[in-house]
Amino acid sequence: MITAGQALMIALAASVQQLGQQPAGNAFVELRDAIYWVSLIPATSAAPGAPKSGEAVLVKVDHDTGDAAAPGVAADGRRPERSPDVSSISIAAAYDHAIAALRGFDNYDKQARLSVVLRNDHYEVTFPPIVTAPVSRGIDYAYQVWVDAASGGIVKILVPS
The predicted-structure confidence for 4-30, as pLDDT tens digits, reads as follows 999 999 999 998 877 767 778 889 999
What confidence tens digit (pLDDT) does each residue in 25-40 have?
889 999 999 999 999 8
Q: Which pLDDT score is estimated for 65?
A: 95
| Single residue among 75, 104, 136 that ends a domain in this structure | 75
Query: How many domains does the chain contain in total?
Result: 2
In the predicted model, is pLDDT for residue 84 greater than 80? no
Q: By C-alpha distance, which of 140, 89, 114, 143 is closest to 39?
A: 114
CATH number reported for the structural domain that contains residue 96 in this entry: 3.10.450
pTM of this prediction exceeds 0.85: no
Q: What is the pLDDT of residues 56-73, one digit of tens each?
A: 889 999 999 999 998 888
Q: Which domain holds residue 129?
A: 91-158
Is 101 a member of any domain? yes
Q: What DSSP string describes 62-78?
A: ETTT--BPPPEEEE---
Q: Is residue 86 a part of any domain in this protein?
A: no
On whether both 103 and 152 belong to a single domain, the answer is: yes
Based on the fold, state whether residues 110 and 152 are members of the same structural domain.
Answer: yes
Please name the residue ranges forming H helices in the chain. Answer: 4-14, 16-19, 91-101
